[in-house]
Amino acid sequence: MTADLEQTPDLDQMGPIDYLVVAFPTERMTGEAFPLLIDLVDRGVIRILDLEFFRKDHDGTVTMLSQVDLERMKVLEAALFDGAASGILDQDDLREAADALDPGTAAGVLVYENVWAAPFAAAPRRSGGQLVASGHIPVQDLVAALDALEAEEQTGTVPRPAEPVS
């Protein structure tokens, strides 16, 4: 499960690197998502580079959770993610993620390589290209856009296609 960058012969062959911060109420930590994460790794879809957990108490105190803490809480088996630390994720990143949390929540911060995209990402690099932007569209935004489109279709006010840019 861990990041073994020494086994990567050429960093130019790596896929895009992304991160997620997943927050949930502390008392509802079940570990239900971990088998799905393990499946993504086992199938070669992603490679975990960093994985950290913390909680923010009701008084605002932030506590980093060790793998042993998570195992004791029956959230996950500690050995599965032991050593998943590439160094990309630093204390400033964790502090920023903790600042975004509401009191009484816990979070996992995952940094991962999109292994599935490595061949596609490497092709532009070979010809001097580079990724200059990427983004994320929250599911809620997609649902809102689809709802708006459906409402427009029902009222007959479907917008015209965009004019070509000249």
Q: What is the pLDDT of residue 114?
A: 93
Q: What is the pLDDT of residue 9?
A: 45
Binning the chain into helix, strand and coil, the percentages to the nearest 5 are: 40, 20, 40
Q: What is the pLDDT of residue 94?
A: 87
Q: Are 115 and 105 in contact (CB under 8 A)?
A: no
Q: What is the pLDDT of residue 91?
A: 87
Strands annotated E in the chain = 17-25, 46-56, 62-65, 105-114
Listed as ranges, residues in the chain with pLDDT below 70 are 1-11, 66-84, 157-166
Q: What is the pLDDT of residue 25?
A: 85
Q: What is the pLDDT of residue 26?
A: 76
Place of tokens 């990402």: 121
